């Protein structure tokens, strides 16, 4: 296998996301011929680690770091699978590596280019995921289907544009810090504050063949508790949220599952505030807190006498803080 020429760590300005198995030859061509081994991150072509033995959670940490570093996120939708499942201590989760890449691009509000290969026919799991992330990957179903050659030509133009941009400025690639992303998220979302649902992920859920796996949730929660890095915490919280999606907090009465939702979205809001997920975005703090309010109302109505008062208290302080953060950025933008 031809590997990157770069021995030291190298930052790639374009991240290529797609299913690996079905598009392996196309991915290799894009990395070697189009990206010249230095412009496009293609996971299996860059890594010199042992993919078979590395812990899956360490792998997703590397993937989200690479997505964050890139200026452009290119997603090729081809084949039909949802992707290979991420294992939590050897237990397969409902989340794939392909999904974690899409998650990170949506979280950071990256510049996204969606290319649909002519063979794309998504299985129900992948179709539902794209529906959940529709706010970042809109109208994929109506996009023109492309051949491999058309996909290669499109990405060539992206690379040429990046090279010309760098030469023109005489600068290294600029990677937007999270403080600037905060304002970008706000700017994009403030026009839709009156949308019908301001719940987390717009209140969308998913049906699996099984209920959420309590053991996976427990193991992820233990790992999250010992992590100081908010980006890594959010990635693991995403795994928990996706595990819980087969039990919609808007309709379930199960105490244990409602408590899992309560803990998970409360932690998402805390980590997201630290990370800068302000503004009117379905993955942001405000929407998570709106959902948390609904969950705590359901818990209080059914199980108030069985729960510690602080676990079901109205998150007024956090909501006020989230709204203040939005208002403060509105003032900055208007000025």
pLDDT digits (tens, 9 = 90+) for 145-165: 999 999 999 999 999 988 876
CB neighbours of residue 284 within 10 Å: 27
What is the model's pTM?
0.85
Whole-angstrom distance, CA of residue 15 vs CA of residue 309: 46
* Structural domains of the chain, ranges and CATH numbers in brackets: 14-169 (3.40.50), 178-334 (no CATH)
pLDDT, position 9: 83
pLDDT, position 142: 80
Whole-angstrom distance, CA of residue 322 vs CA of residue 91: 35
Terminal C-alpha separation, the chain = 54
pLDDT, position 318: 83
What residues form DSSP beta bridges with 145?
A: 116
Whole-angstrom distance, CA of residue 278 vs CA of residue 284: 6
Buried b (16+ CB within 10 A) or exposed e, 118-139: eebebeebbebbbebbbbbbee
Whole-angstrom distance, CA of residue 83 vs CA of residue 249: 26
85-88 and 91-96 beta bridge pairing: antiparallel
Query: Do residues 294 and 314 touch, judged by C-beta distance below 8 A?
Result: no
- Torsion over CA of 296, 300, 301 and 302, rounded to 10 degrees? 100
Name the percent of the chain in helix, strand, coil, to the closest 5. 55, 10, 35
pLDDT, position 99: 95
Whole-angstrom distance, CA of residue 248 vs CA of residue 207: 9
- The residues, any chain, with a CB within 8 Å of residue 30's CB and separated by 6 or more, are 16, 40, 42, 151, 152, 155
| Residue segments in the chain with a per-residue pLDDT below the cut of 50 | 1-6, 167-196, 331-335
Query: Do residues 249 and 291 touch, judged by C-beta distance below 8 A?
Result: yes
Query: Do residues 256 and 295 touch, judged by C-beta distance below 8 A?
Result: no
């Amino acid at each position: 296998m031809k590997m990157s020429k770069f021995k030291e760590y190298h930052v790639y300005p374009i991240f290529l996301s797609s299913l690996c198995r079905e598009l392996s030859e196309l991915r290799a061509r894009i990395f070697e011929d189009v990206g010249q081994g230095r412009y496009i991150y293609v996971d299996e072509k860059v890594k010199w680690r042992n993919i078979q033995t590395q812990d899956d959670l360490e792998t997703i940490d590397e993937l989200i770091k690479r997505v964050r570093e890139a200026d452009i996120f290119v997603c090729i939708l081809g084949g039909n699978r949802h992707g290979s499942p991420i294992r939590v201590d050897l237990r397969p989760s409902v989340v794939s590596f392909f999904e974690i890449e899409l998650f990170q691009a949506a979280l950071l509000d990256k510049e996204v280019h969606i290319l649909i290969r002519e063979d794309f026919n998504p299985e129900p799991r992948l179709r539902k995921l794209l529906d959940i992330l529709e706010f970042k990957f809109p109208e994929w179903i109506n996009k023109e289907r492309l051949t491999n050659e058309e996909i290669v030509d499109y990405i060539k133009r992206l690379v040429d544009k990046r090279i010309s941009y760098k030469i023109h400025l005489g600068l290294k690639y600029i990677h937007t810090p999270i403080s600037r992303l905060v304002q970008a998220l706000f700017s994009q979302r403030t026009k839709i504050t009156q949308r019908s649902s301001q719940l987390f992920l717009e209140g969308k859920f998913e049906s699996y063949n099984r209920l959420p796996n309590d053991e996976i949730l427990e193991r992820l929660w233990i790992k999250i508790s010992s992590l100081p890095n908010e980006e890594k915490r959010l990635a693991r919280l995403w795994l928990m949220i996706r595990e819980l999606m087969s039990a919609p907090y808007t309709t379930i009465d199960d105490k244990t599952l409602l408590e899992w939702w309560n803990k998970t979205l409360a932690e998402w809001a805390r980590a997201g505030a630290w990370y800068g997920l302000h503004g009117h975005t379905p993955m942001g703090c405000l929407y998570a807190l709106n959902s948390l309010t609904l969950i705590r109302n359901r818990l209080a109505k059914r199980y108030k006498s069985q729960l510690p008062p602080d676990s079901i208290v109205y998150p007024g302080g956090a909501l006020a803080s989230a709204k203040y953060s939005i208002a403060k950025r509105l003032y900055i933008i208007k000025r």
